[in-house]
Amino acid sequence: MYHINFENPCHVYFIGIGGISMSGLAEVLMKEGFTVSGSDSKESPLTDHLSSLGAVIFYDQSISHIPQGTDVVVYTAAIHPEHPEIVDATKRNIPLLTRAELLGQLMRNYKTAINIAGTHGKTTTTSMVTEILLAANTDPTISVGGILPTIGGNIRVGGSNLFVTEACEYTNSFLSFYPTMEVILNIEADHLDFFKDIDDIRHSFRLFMEKLPKDGILVINGDIHNLSELINGLDCEIITVGHGESCDYRASNISYNEFAQASFDVTDASNTTLGHIQLSVPGEHNVYNALASVALCKKLNLSMDAIVSGLLNFHGTQRRFEKKGVVNGITIIDDYAHHPQEITATLTAAKKYPHKKIWCIFQPHTYTRTKALLTDFAKALSLADEVVLAKIYPARETDDLGISSDNIRVLLEQAGTSAHYFETFEEIEKFILQHAASGDLVITMGAGDVVKIGEDLISK
């Protein structure tokens, strides 16, 4: 594998440089003195930003633009092996790295490399940790999977001591990483188009834990099913967070304000109260995202004052219980939740948020996930008063499994929850305007483009 060394900058070419993750990695390399060029299907604010920093970017992907003197080519999993630039790089014997492999190589250049993993909660927890590190006046380099207003995007290029990133399990990407500290928030059945089952997922997470060196730190959710099976025999230090009395960090005296934002005491295994936390994001799930952040940052020897300040300053990232606006007295919220457990967490938080009736406009993400978790989706969505279902967002898949959002509607109605299915966003918008009332809460939910519905409602 080609090694990236900050002491020896080279020329890196990115295929798909405009992606949110790829653009961030390109910016890190440019800050370190690397020459960066690349291609993408279209111009965007992200590519414009890279161009302003000096990157050379091409937008015709029907031919290869790889310059002479390119040392390594980076590509994403979405790039087909027959892509002209993959073919060209192979013919010219230019080394190839996947995005995950490049991210792993970057980590090797930092004294401390923190990986935040789990089926859900990664973006929020990475953002919480970022706020704490900034409050503590450290100079971290950050790669987050969403837009965090505090850093003005998804990337912050800092010093070479501390690197923080999300670590995604899909296609075993995180097994290309070199962490010195890990946070594992949860392990649930997901990405079943790649993994065989939950045991296969747990096996990959175990391999990820084994990436830690002997002096590494693992912060892990103590509530994970059969945790001992996962962590037995690890050489690193293990810190647990969660509900159990045996956990090293617990949340006690949890209460909520009128916007479902929690406050709680942080308690250690000896029942000593370490400090009081007030969150500016809603839901019990964020209590435990915050608790994992506290455990990690205490291990970095950061003060409770910085931890308290950082968590209070975190007001969320885009598409995580993000208030989009109000139309006809109806509050519009958008959320990225696309897994049953995420949906449950979001709708549970919504119940504590001011509302008369909760409307959930849900867009399932991928046919395989919808089919595998069909009954779980119906159970989670039943927490809403009214459910409106959009067509499945296919992402990387084709419609060949005989599954539809209407299958969820049938299960919901059988269970007594009012549910509706529409083929188009326009039909959904018209239905909401006709039936939702002032004081209601409408949540657009999913990992696809369902956010457009709320934005259209507000613009109209």
CB 250 within 8 A of CB 291: yes
Q: Is 145 annotated as a binding residue?
A: no
Residue type, 334: D
CB burial readout 182-209, b (16+ within 10 A) else e: bbbbbbbbbbbbebeeeeebbebbbebb
Q: Does residue 391 register a pLDDT over 90? A: yes
Give the Cα separation of 167 and 126 in Å (integer).
10
Q: Is 243 annotated as a binding residue?
A: no
Global confidence as pTM: 0.84
Mean pLDDT, range 355-381, rounded to an integer: 96
Q: Is 121 annotated as a binding residue?
A: yes
Give the Cα separation of 311 and 34 in Å (integer).
34
Q: Is 123 annotated as a binding residue?
A: yes
Residue type, 111: K
Give the Cα separation of 301 and 337 in Å (integer).
33
Report pLDDT digits (tens) over 282-331: 989 999 999 999 999 999 999 999 999 999 999 987 788 899 999 999 99
- Which residues are part of the catalytic machinery? 122-123, 166
Give the Cα separation of 107 and 160 in Å (integer).
10
Give the Cα separation of 179 and 243 in Å (integer).
26
- Using only the alpha carbons of the chain, give its radius of gyration: 22
Tell me what pLDDT residue 146 has.
81
The three-state secondary structure class of 103 is: helix
Give the Cα separation of 323 and 334 in Å (integer).
6
Tell me what pLDDT residue 421 has.
97
Tell me what pLDDT residue 316 has.
81
Report pLDDT digits (tens) over 125-147: 999 999 999 999 999 999 988 88
Tell me what pLDDT residue 192 has.
78
Tell me what pLDDT residue 418 has.
96
Q: Is 242 annotated as a binding residue?
A: no
Q: Place 159 in a pLDDT band, splitting at 50, 70 and 90.
A: confident
